[in-house]
Structure 1
Amino acid sequence: MKIAIAGAGAVGRSIARELLANGHHVLLIDKDERKVRYERIPDAEWLLADACEVSSLEDAHLDEFEVVIGATGDDKVNLVVSLLAKTEFSIRRVVARINHPANEWLFTEAWGVDVAVSTPRVLAALVEEAVSVGDVVRLFSLREGQANLIEVTLPIGAPCAGLPLGDLDLPLDAALVAIVRGSRVITPTPDEPLEPGDELLFVALPEAEPAIRKAVCAA
């Protein structure tokens, strides 16, 4: 897959290394000469240019890429890159980094953003996930927050412990996508029995979250 990353700072470079390790073709774009250091990631393609200018993106042949990531430390830049990628080059998947939580409301499809990643929110979710048992923790928002990836850890003594998944009264707008049990990742099936300490990962609409908690922890 061909992936372009706007922003060659620490975040952009880290993303690039991960993607290259997974076999993807990566282009790093940055207008700061101090950040465009080819020797840092020799396997990546580099472009010294302003990603907010259409001419620069045309020089990069952005229309040949499947994914664009706005990974700079400036929310305004990430929004402009996202909008240009989607409207001018019809990029199939646009991912944008949110640096300041107050700007989250801007990172929507109206600005060309398919997936918005808020660093503060992700860090907060990871902290909550580490300490919360028996409560719903939002890990990630999908499609402008229309749905969320959430996690519920089954507490000791939960009434549903020992019951098969098929017995749970889950809401319609929720899908259990995986069970993390110790070092194992289990594909949910109706006959799979629940165990205390199971981490249940759901994709669900926000309004379904109270019903999930009730079904899992207070059934």
Structure 2
Amino acid sequence: MKVLIAGGGRTGAQLARFLISQNHDVTIVEDRKEVLSRIHRELPTEMIVEGNPISPQILEDAGIRSANVLAAVTTSDETNLVLCYIARKRYGVRRTIARVNNPRDAWLFTEQFHVDVAVNQSEILARLIEEEMSMGDMMTLLKLRRGNFSLVEEKVPPGARVIGVELRNMDLSHCVIAAIIRHGEMVMPRGVTTFEVGDEVLAVADPQGARMLADWLSPAEKA
């Protein structure tokens, strides 16, 4: 996959190193002399294009016409928005990802500017804190690329409401049980499947579904 990264700061350089380790074709564009001096020591010179990332000529020199993904991670929100817009409208890049530097600008990073994914660190931290407060011991393993769903995992604790309940009798809208790991073996969930203490439950859920599952996995209320 061909990835064009606009911005060679710490975020861009780290992203480039990771993608290179995954055998992707990466080019990074940067125009700040002090940053160029550093990344030339950290990254292969042939993958670095020096120049203004919003210059069409520089973008073409960097191979934007063949890029599958543009990652706009400069320190300027305006530049990142313009880059996404140019990449999609002028060059037909299929996937655009933009870094949000100022949380107050987050509302601009939408389909109107052809931003497919906006990376807003403040929002990510807020959601992690919210999940930690509301989901108990449930762990988010990964966010699915499209939609508002995640792969979550939690172990069934002693006294959980779910123990002995058949899956078909659980109200789990917005949540699909993908697998149950029991004594090191995978149990494929069926309607008549019941849960035991120590089961590791893997599920695909949106935030509402994750909360419902967390409720089932919480201790039963004593009469």
TM range (shorter): 0.7 to 0.9
Bigger Rg, structure 1 or 2: 2
Partners of 1:86 and 1:197 in 2: CA distance? 46
Partner SS for 1:27: strand
Q: Give 1:195 deviation, angstroms.
A: 5.4
Q: Give 1:70 deviation, angstroms.
A: 0.9
Question: Aligned Cα RMSD in Å?
Answer: 3.8
- Match 2:59 to one of 39, 57, 60: 57
- Match 1:133 to one of 136, 147, 172: 136
Over 3 Å counting, the alpha-carbon distance change for 1:140 and 1:80 in structure 2 is farther
Partner SS for 1:35: helix
Over 3 Å counting, the alpha-carbon distance change for 1:106 and 1:24 in structure 2 is same
Q: Which amino acid aligns with 1:133?
A: G
Alignment of 1:54-203 (within 5 A): 54-130=56-132, 132-133=135-136, 147-149=148-150, 151=152, 153=154, 156=157, 157-161=159-163, 163=165, 165=167, 167-171=169-173, 173-175=174-176, 189-190=189-190, 191=193, 193=195, 198=200, 200=202, 202-203=204-205
Q: Would you say the 8 A contact 1:25–1:44 is kept in 2?
A: no
Q: Give 1:23 deviation, angstroms.
A: 0.7
Q: Would you say the 8 A contact 1:20–1:44 is kept in 2?
A: no
Partners of 1:57 and 1:123 in 2: CA distance? 32
Q: Would you say the 8 A contact 2:69–2:93 is kept in 1?
A: yes
Over 3 Å counting, the alpha-carbon distance change for 1:151 and 1:106 in structure 2 is farther
Partners of 1:179 and 1:103 in 2: CA distance? 42
Q: Which amino acid aligns with 1:54?
A: P
Partners of 2:209 and 2:9 in 1: CA distance? 38
Query: Could you report, residue by residue, the CA deviation over 1:22-43 in whole angstroms, capped at 9, with x for unpaired residues?
Result: 1111111112122123221127
Over 3 Å counting, the alpha-carbon distance change for 1:201 and 1:61 in structure 2 is same
Q: Would you say the 8 A contact 1:5–1:68 is kept in 2?
A: yes
Partners of 2:181 and 2:76 in 1: CA distance? 36
Q: Give 1:168 deviation, angstroms.
A: 3.5
Return 5+ residue gaps in structure 1 as ranges. Answer: none
Q: Which amino acid aligns with 2:17?
A: R
Partners of 1:73 and 1:194 in 2: CA distance? 50
| Residue of structure 2 in register with 1:19 after alignment | 19
Return 5+ residue gaps in structure 2 as ranges. Answer: none
Q: Which amino acid aligns with 2:22?
A: N
1:35 aligns with 2:38: no
Query: What is the aligned length?
Result: 212
Q: Tell which deviates more after alignment, 161-170 or 58-67.
A: 161-170
Q: Which amino acid aligns with 2:10?
A: A
Query: Could you report, residue by residue, the CA deviation over 1:105-153 in whole angstroms, capped at 9, with x for unpaired residues?
Result: 211111111111111222333445556407898x85966xx62437575
Partner SS for 1:34: helix
Q: Which amino acid aligns with 1:149?
A: S
Q: Would you say the 8 A contact 2:164–2:194 is kept in 1?
A: no
Q: Give 1:100 deviation, angstroms.
A: 2.4
Q: Give 1:69 deviation, angstroms.
A: 0.4
* TM-score, scaled relative to structure 2: 0.73
* TM-score, scaled relative to structure 1: 0.74
Partner SS for 2:172: coil
Q: Would you say the 8 A contact 2:101–2:120 is kept in 1?
A: yes
Over 3 Å counting, the alpha-carbon distance change for 1:114 and 1:166 in structure 2 is farther
